[in-house]
Amino acid sequence: MTSYSVKDIAKAIGAKAVGAVDLSVSGVAEPQDATSGDLALVMKPAFAENLSKGSAQVAMLWPDADWQSFGLQAAILPDRGRYAMATVTELYDLGHGFHKGIHPSAVVSPEARLGADVSVGPLTVIEAGAVIGDGSVIGPQCYIGIDVNLGANAFLRDHVTLGARVKIGANFICQPGARIGGDGFSFVTPEKNQVEDARAELGQSSISARQSWARIHSIGSVTIGDDVEVGANTTIDRGTIRDTVIGRGTKLDNLVQVGHNVVVGEDCLLCGMVGIAGSSQIGNNVVLGGQTGVGDNLTIGDAVITGAGTMVLANVPKGRFMLGYPAMKMESQVEAYKGLRRLPRLFADVANLKKAVSKSADND
Q: Which of 231, 220, 287 is nearest to 257 (CA)?
A: 231
Catalytic residue among 99, 159, 217, 260: 260
| Residues in CB range of 30: below 8 A, 6 or more apart | 40, 41, 50, 54
Q: Is residue 31 helix, strand or coil?
A: helix
Query: CB–CB of 125/140 below 8 Å?
Result: no
Residues ≥6 apart with Cβ < 8 Å to 144 = 112, 124, 125, 126, 127, 130, 132, 138, 150, 162
C-alpha separations of 277 from 174, 217, 351 in Å = 22, 17, 46
Rounded CA gap, 99 and 322, in Å? 45
Distance CA 170, CA 268 (A): 17
Residue type, 165: R
Angle at 332 between CA 329 and CA 336, to 5 degrees: 135
Distance between CA 23 and CA 76 in Å, rounded? 12
CA atoms within 13 A on the CB side of 110: 0
Examine the residue annotation and report whether 260 is marked as an active-site residue of this protein.
yes
Q: Reduce the secondary structure of 278-328 to three states and give it as a string.
A: CCCEECCCCEECCCCEECCCCEECCCCEECCCCEECCCECCCCEEECCCCE
Annotated active-site positions, please?
A: 260
